[in-house]
Structure 1
Amino acid sequence: MELTVGTIYDGKVTGITKFGAFVALPGGKSGMVHISEIANTYVEDIKQFLTEGQEVKVKLIAIDEQGRINLSIKKALPEKRPERSQRPRQTMPAPVRSTLQKTSDLSFEDKLKHFMQASESRISDSRAFGEKRSSRRRGR
C-alpha cells in the first residue's frame, strides 16, 4: 500500500516512549507520533493520552529522506469552530458608530474630514487625561 502525505489513516498504538508513540499503519508499515503531535494541549506524560493497543486516527505529515514516517493525531482531529459568545460584541465605540451612521450620505472627502476631526478630538482627550494623571503624581 502506498502511503501519501496529508492522508488520514486508522492505526494502532504499538509502543510508547518519552518522546512519542509508535503506530502501526495499514500495509504493515509503522510511523511515529511525536509528543507535540498527540494533543492540542500540553502533553507531559503520553500515557495520560494513549495506551498500547489503542486504535487511533493519524494524519501522515511527512516521510523524511531516511524513510521514517511522521504522524500526527492532533492534525487528524476534526477542526472545532470557536464558540460564539451570546453577548454581541461592539466593534467600535458608540460615538464613532453614530458618526458613521449620520455620514452615510456624505462624500468620501467629507467622511474623511469627520473622521480626522473625531480622531484629533480623541487624541487631545487622551493627552489631557494623561496630563491630569501625571500632575497628580508630581504633587505627592
Structure 2
Amino acid sequence: MGYHQIHVGDIVDVTITGIQPYGAFALLPDQTSGLIHISEISDRFVRSVGNYVTIGETIKVKVIDIDEKSHQAKLSLKAVAKRRKFRRHRRPIVETPKGFRSLEEMLPRWISRGINKEEDV
C-alpha cells in the first residue's frame, strides 16, 4: 500500500482517472482505486457522469466503503456536496408591507439598505 491509509468515513482528494456511463473511477491518495457510482454523484438526476467530473480533475469525496478483497473503495461525491449546502448565506428577512401605499413608503428604505450593503463590500 501507499503512504496514506484510507478508512471508511474519510474525506479525501481523489483524481478522476476514468468515466463510464455507470460512474467515475478515481485514484486515491494511497494509490488504490475507487469508484463513484452514478447514484453517488448527485442527489439530482444524473444524465451523464461527464457533466459532473472530468478525467484528470481532483475532487473531494467521502469513502463510504472499502472492498477488503479488491481493495477498491466506494466513493461518494454527493455526501461531500451535502456538507457544502449548509454553508450558504441566508438572506436577511425583509419586512413586507401590505398594499401599494405601504410599498411606496418602504421602497426608499429598501433602496437605501441595498446601496449601503454594496458600499460595505
Q: What TM-score do the two structures reach when normalised by structure 1? A: 0.55
Q: Structure 1 residue runs of 4+, over 3 Å off?
A: 81-88
Quote how far apart the aligned CAs of 1:87 are. Answer: 7.8
Specify the code of the residue in structure 2 equivalent to 1:16.
I
**For residues 15-34 of structure 1, what are the alpha-carbon distances to aligned partners after superposition, in whole Å with 9 as ceiling and x for unaligned?**
00010000101121110000
Counterpart Cα distance in 2 of 1:27 and 1:2: 6
Structure with more helix by fraction:
1
Is 1:58 matched up with 2:61? yes
The alignment's C-alpha RMSD in Å is 2.1
Q: Does 1:80 align with 2:72?
A: no
What 5-or-longer segments of structure 2 have no aligned partner?
A: 96-121
What letter corresponds to residue 85 of structure 2 in structure 1?
A: K
Q: Secondary structure at the match of 2:46?
A: coil
- Letter of the structure 1 residue corresponding to residue 74 of structure 2: N
2:109 corresponds in structure 1 to none
Could you tell me how far apart the structure 1 residues matched to 2:55 and 2:16 are?
5
User: What are the superposed Cα offsets for residues 15-74 of structure 1, whole Å, 9 maximum, x if unpaired?
Assistant: 000100001011211100000111221101111111101111011000135333100011
How many equivalent pairs are there?
Answer: 88
Alignment partners' CA distance in 2, 1:65 and 1:29: 12
Show the counterpart of 1:98. Answer: none
Structure with bigger strand share is 2
Q: Which residue matches 2:5?
A: 2
Name the % identity. Answer: 39
* Amino acid paired to 2:44: T
Task: Please identify the structure whose Cα radius of gyration is greater.
Answer: 1
1:19 aligns with 2:22: yes
The DSSP-based 3-state class of the residue aligned with 1:70 is strand
1:1-140 correspondence to structure 2 within 5 Å: 1-66=4-69, 67-77=71-81, 78-81=83-86, 86=93
With structure 2 as the length reference, what TM-score do the two structures score?
Answer: 0.63
Distance verdict in 2 for CA 1:85–1:64, change over 3 Å: farther
